[in-house]
Amino acid sequence: MTAAQGSLSRRGLLKLLGLTGGGLAAGGWPWNNAAMAQDPPRASALETFTGPGANPHWNSVGPYLTEPQKVPLILLTDRPVQLETPRHYFRTAFTPNDAFYVRWHLDGIPNRVDLKQWRLQVEGNVKKSLALSFSELTDKFKPVSVAAVNQCSGNSRSRLQPRVPGAQWGNGAMGNALWTGVRLREILDLAGVKSGSLQLQFQGLETGQGPAGFGSNLFLKSLDLANPVVDECIVAYLMNGEPLPMLNGFPVRLVVPGYFATYWTKCLTWIRVLDAPDENYWMKTAYRAPDTPRGNTSPEDVKAGKVKTVPLERFPVRSFLISPDESSKIPAGLGIMLRGIAFSGHGRVNRVEVSDDGGKTWGEATLGEDHGAYSFRTWEAPWKAKSPGRYSLAVRATDEKKNTQPDEAVWNPGGYLWNRIERQELVVGNAS
């Protein structure tokens, strides 16, 4: 994590927000954020697919929907709002704000925040409770920035066999941004954490009816105070140099580098220091995976009650071929450049390999710029098919902790932790 370069002054930030201390509505943004690599919007679903097999498409299947501050994204559900980013937006290391995926848990989400009234409150087992205004966050603390991937815990859930409940995400429930804000640790130091404290609980402005019978009408997530990731967390008020879209957590959200997005609380408004373990539904019951290698188990063991679970934390190493896709035929003998992205929650990706013979042999790709340990890293590799036919290209990544993508599927009832080697079929020449 490094100091933000060219960070905005308070006056500059408020000017960008279009504010003089007033409120900000979802539809009232004063700038046009041009989308990168934007294809023409489509009125229908990408593909048709109902199962029961694994989703064969890169993205999920659903209609395109345009929400405030967003380009057309793929709709999974509207209550709560879940929108997936189409594949072509991953051609670059940073995902445009208006193309960034959206995932809420409850149906009561804010569409307006009045910065005159809003405060970030720090309470609980602290020496001094805080109620920090937006201007205090931008004025009183040194801004820092980190490039980090935000990935939904259920990304690629539609790949699992047998299928499991939950949003049937394709691969687009993820995005990478440069997040700028305040170190969480500095806010805690200002409040003064008392001895005996165990966890930090985070709550945003999201409310509504959660799963029946669980008392889950508030979305609450916690991190152990002793977890080293706390020192990497920031409370972000900028995303790729601009205020966060409402649907991605304006005015601030928690950034937990390397961790699944369930911890990245949107519209963060309360930080509570707890002296006892947090046993609310979203910690004790939801977002847990088997305590096994890769979180893998079987329906039989789940039914027999043999599975011990632990909270999800860091996401595994992954890589994707983004272009070309399967939409067009490639002339035989034409050299093309394969391009994609890779990332890991355990540290920077330092190797990407590509195979065109079913994984029998692998060739190393050239890595793009290193934006940090938790960022997307682009890669490219030249490729040419000398003869017509169908080719299955595979890509795998390795991170600095020597974690390499496996070629085995994973299954658990939550539909989490999928990171199997991805394959893409390309048609060359006159193959039919």
Q: pLDDT digit of tens for each residue in the chain (432 aa)?
A: 443 333 444 455 555 554 433 334 333 332 233 233 334 344 444 567 777 899 999 999 999 999 999 999 999 998 899 999 999 999 999 999 999 999 999 999 999 999 999 999 999 999 999 999 999 999 999 999 999 999 999 999 999 999 999 999 999 999 999 999 999 999 999 999 999 999 999 999 999 988 877 878 999 999 999 999 999 999 999 999 999 999 999 999 999 999 999 999 999 999 999 999 999 999 999 999 999 999 999 999 999 999 999 999 999 999 999 999 988 889 999 999 999 999 999 999 999 999 999 899 999 999 999 999 999 999 999 999 889 999 999 999 999 999 999 999 999 999 999 999 999 999 998 745
User: What is the pLDDT, as a whole number, of residue 281?
Assistant: 95
At 379, list the tokens. 């890669």
User: What is the pLDDT, as a whole number, of residue 305?
Assistant: 95
DSSP 297-346: --HHHHHTT---EEE--BPPPEEEEEES-TTS-B-TT--EEEEEEEE-SS
User: What is the pLDDT, as a whole number, of residue 17?
Assistant: 57
Q: Where are the beta strands (DSSP E) in 208-262?
A: 218-224, 234-239, 253-255
Q: Closest by alpha carbon to 278, among 265, 291, 296?
A: 265
User: What is the pLDDT, as a whole number, of residue 202?
Assistant: 98
Whether 253 contacts 236, CB under 8 Å: yes
Bridge-based pairing of strands 253-255 and 218-224 is unpaired
- Give the 3-state secondary structure of residue 158: helix
Whether 156 contacts 318, CB under 8 Å: no
Q: Which helix (H) or strand (E) holds 188?
A: helix 184-191
Cα–Cα dist 203/404, whole Å: 34
The residues, any chain, with a CB within 8 Å of residue 147's CB and separated by 6 or more, are 93, 94, 176, 177, 178, 179, 371, 372, 374, 375
Whether 349 contacts 399, CB under 8 Å: yes
Whether 151 contacts 375, CB under 8 Å: no
The CA–CA distances, whole Å, from 294 to 161, 290, 316, 376, 415 equal 15, 8, 8, 21, 12
CB atoms within 10 A of CB 269: 19
User: What is the pLDDT, as a whole number, of residue 30?
Assistant: 29
Residue 311: asked if its preceding bond is cis (omega within 30°), the reply is: no
User: What is the pLDDT, as a whole number, of residue 2?
Assistant: 41
CB atoms within 10 A of CB 332: 15
Q: Closest by alpha carbon to 159, among 425, 423, 349?
A: 423
Q: Quote the pTM value.
A: 0.90
Q: Closest by alpha carbon to 414, among 170, 162, 221, 165?
A: 165
The CA–CA distances, whole Å, from 326 to 82, 99, 341 equal 26, 22, 17
- 57 — alpha (psi -120 to 50), left (phi > 0) or beta? beta
**Burial (CB count <10 Å: 0-12, 13-18, 19+), residue 190:** middle
User: What is the pLDDT, as a whole number, of residue 16?
Assistant: 53
